[in-house]
């Protein structure tokens, strides 16, 4: 064999080994851990009773059920397109680019970054609120009391440490613990909510919508953004790239397993929270709970543990952009130092925003309206429409029905996102004017 052919063979073997190293190693269970950790966070759970209270029983229940079904189907659609044109699309950006071209890439890039940053700001506030809630249960004196901002700073330091892990797959065991904490948070929160509900005189609970007509309308808009936020799964292709063959089948199982947890926990907590406290339920459900104390402590600690993993998943797209810049500068030999620098910069920026504007409920709503609605409700419908050209059965009636449903979903949820954004912005403006957040600290 000639030296040239030997070199070519060695190059092919080296390439195949590199490809094997890039292949996913996770099971469907790992995918379920990642998806459940990404979606079912306390920041998503906690405001749901308040969202239902802002809409009332009929509209609140139907909105939550529709949101669950639509995002579950959207997740399966995105998972089915991971290799739709014969190439593996390891990020949501690349998948959108392969279907829509460059505008799809930049569309997803923008909204994914908004989702990542906005979600992590909300998560920092939620984690800080849970830590302070535990602290206040054991330290009732005001002398030297720690503030919400200090707890946000402590949690931010923990996330900076975890940010040094290289990728999502390296978080698999952390996310397994977080998934267990998701179930623990849901179980304890639901249990103590029902307990408090029975302690309360049922005749004293008011289920009517609060405020004047304008307030009711804008609160309902705000609630739609909160529900959209609660189903945020803007990084399914990134998770799917960590899954072993058969990738699609494993991802379908992982998504469905995660949504089983979501359906049971979301619906139960949302409805029991509204049933227990009515229109007086707080935007962060744990703030409404009163007894028993040890269960409230457990629920808050479960929340902090779960948020720890979710935060890491959502910061990865932002880190990926930094890493691309580092590679362009040919400084791979100093990658760890660079990683510490850009993760520190990121954590410092979002910690500053979280501490300065701790409007948990409003930030959740505006993040859901601006980022998760386009990525989770609108874009998957358009993707399905574009990629099914020529693949749908020749039945003309079925083709028209599919097109109408996809266009209707895209238009409807675009309108919902715009209205939710208006409601959230109005709430933030009101909070700033009244300085209400100082009374929550």
Q: Which two tokens stand for residue 387?
A: 């990629």
Q: Which of 17-31, 152-166, 331-345 has the largest mean confidence? A: 152-166
147 contacts: CB under 8 Å, gap ≥ 6: 132, 441
Identify whether 283 is part of a domain: yes
Picking from 280, 291, 114, 269, the residue whose alpha carbon sits closest to that of residue 208 is 280
Q: How far apart are CA 38 and CA 234, in angstroms?
A: 9
108 contacts: CB under 8 Å, gap ≥ 6: 92, 93, 95, 96, 375, 379
Picking from 279, 303, 352, 21, the residue whose alpha carbon sits closest to that of residue 188 is 303
185 contacts: CB under 8 Å, gap ≥ 6: 42, 45, 299, 302, 303, 306
If one counts every other C-beta atom within 10 angstroms of the C-beta of residue 203, the result is 6
Q: Which two tokens stand for residue 228?
A: 């959209």
Per-residue model confidence as pLDDT tens digits over 382-436: 998 888 765 545 566 777 787 888 888 889 889 988 888 888 888 777 776 665 4
Identify whether 287 is part of a domain: yes
Q: Which two tokens stand for residue 335?
A: 């990658």
Identify whether 367 is part of a domain: no
Instruction: Supply the range of the domain harboring residue 133.
Output: 25-205+235-315+330-358
Picking from 137, 162, 440, 156, the residue whose alpha carbon sits closest to that of residue 313 is 162
User: In this model, does residue 292 exceed pLDDT 50?
Assistant: yes
Q: Which of 60-64, 373-377, 391-395, 417-421 has the largest mean confidence? A: 60-64
Identify whether 178 is part of a domain: yes
Average pLDDT, the chain: 81
User: In this model, does residue 309 exceed pLDDT 50?
Assistant: yes
Q: How far apart are CA 133 and CA 139, in angstroms?
A: 10
Q: How far apart are CA 228 and CA 91, in angstroms?
A: 21
The least confident of 5-14, 160-169, 288-297, 347-356 is 5-14
Identify whether 170 is part of a domain: yes
Identify whether 348 is part of a domain: yes
Q: What is the DSSP letter of 373?
A: I
DSSP assignment of 390-423? TTS-S-HHHHHHHHHHHHHHHHHHHHHHHHHHHH
Q: Given this model, what pLDDT does residue 65 score?
A: 92
Q: How far apart are CA 41 and CA 266, in angstroms?
A: 10
Q: Given this model, what pLDDT does residue 342 score?
A: 86
Q: Given this model, what pLDDT does residue 361 score?
A: 63
Identify whether 224 is part of a domain: no
Q: Which two tokens stand for residue 346?
A: 């990121």
User: In this model, does residue 254 exceed pLDDT 90?
Assistant: yes
Q: Given this model, what pLDDT does residue 157 score?
A: 92
Q: Given this model, what pLDDT does residue 41 score?
A: 76
Q: Which two tokens stand for residue 163?
A: 């940010």
Q: How far apart are CA 176 and CA 170, in angstroms?
A: 11
Identify whether 289 is part of a domain: yes
Name the residue with higher pLDDT: 219 or 41: 219
Q: How many domains does the chain have?
A: 1
Q: Which two tokens stand for residue 63?
A: 């909105």
Q: Which of 42-51, 268-277, 428-437 has the largest mean confidence? A: 268-277
Per-residue model confidence as pLDDT tens digits over 312-370: 888 887 887 777 766 645 455 567 788 888 888 889 998 988 887 766 666 777 777 78
The least confident of 41-45, 273-277, 297-301, 306-310 is 41-45
Picking from 113, 74, 108, the residue whose alpha carbon sits closest to that of residue 92 is 108
Region 126-153: what's the mean pLDDT? 81
Q: Are 375 and 238 in contact (CB under 8 A)?
A: no
């Amino acid at each position: 064999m000639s030296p040239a052919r030997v070199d070519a063979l060695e190059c092919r073997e080296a390439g195949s080994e590199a490809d094997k190293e890039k292949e996913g190693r996770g099971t469907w269970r790992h995918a379920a851990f990642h998806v459940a950790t990404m979606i079912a966070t306390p920041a998503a759970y906690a405001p749901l009773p308040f969202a239902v209270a802002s809409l009332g029983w009929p509209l609140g229940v139907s909105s939550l059920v529709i949101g669950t079904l639509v995002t579950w189907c959207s997740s399966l659609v995105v998972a089915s397109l991971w290799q739709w044109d014969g190439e593996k699309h390891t990020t949501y950006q690349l998948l959108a680019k392969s279907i829509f071209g460059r505008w799809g890439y930049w569309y997803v890039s923008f909204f994914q970054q908004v989702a990542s940053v906005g979600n992590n700001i909300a998560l920092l506030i939620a984690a800080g609120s849970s830590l302070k809630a535990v602290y206040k249960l054991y330290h009732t004196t005001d002398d030297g009391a720690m503030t919400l901002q200090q707890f946000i700073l402590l949690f931010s330091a923990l996330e900076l440490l975890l940010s040094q892990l290289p990728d999502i797959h390296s978080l698999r065991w952390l996310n397994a613990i977080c998934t267990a904490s998701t179930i623990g948070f849901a179980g304890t929160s639901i249990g103590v909510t029902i307990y408090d509900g029975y302690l309360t005189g049922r005749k004293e609970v008011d289920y009517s919508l609060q405020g004047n007509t304008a307030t009711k309308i804008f609160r309902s808009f705000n609630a739609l953004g909160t529900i959209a936020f609660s189903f945020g799964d803007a990084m399914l292709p990134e998770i799917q790239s960590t899954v072993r063959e058969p990738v699609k089948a494993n991802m379908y199982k992982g998504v469905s397993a995660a949504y089983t947890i979501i359906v049971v926990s979301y619906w139960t907590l949302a409805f029991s929270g509204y049933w227990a406290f009515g229109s007086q339920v707080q935007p962060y459900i744990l703030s409404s709970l009163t007894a028993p104390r040890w269960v409230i402590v457990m629920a808050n600690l479960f929340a902090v543990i779960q948020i720890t993993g979710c935060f890491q998943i959502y910061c990865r797209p932002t880190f990926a952009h930094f890493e691309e810049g580092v590679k362009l500068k040919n400084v791979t030999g100093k990658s760890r130092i660079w990683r510490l620098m850009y993760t520190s910069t990121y954590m410092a920026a979002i910690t500053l925003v979280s501490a300065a504007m701790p409007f948990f409920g409003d930030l959740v709503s505006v993040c859901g309206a601006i980022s998760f609605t386009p990525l989770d409700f609108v874009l998957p419908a358009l993707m399905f429409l574009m990629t099914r050209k020529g693949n749908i059965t020749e039945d003309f009636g079925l083709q028209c029905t599919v097109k109408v449903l996809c266009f209707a979903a895209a238009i409807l949820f675009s309108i919902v996102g715009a209205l939710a954004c208006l409601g959230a912005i109005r709430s933030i403006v009101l909070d700033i004017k009244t300085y209400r957040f100082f009374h929550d600290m």
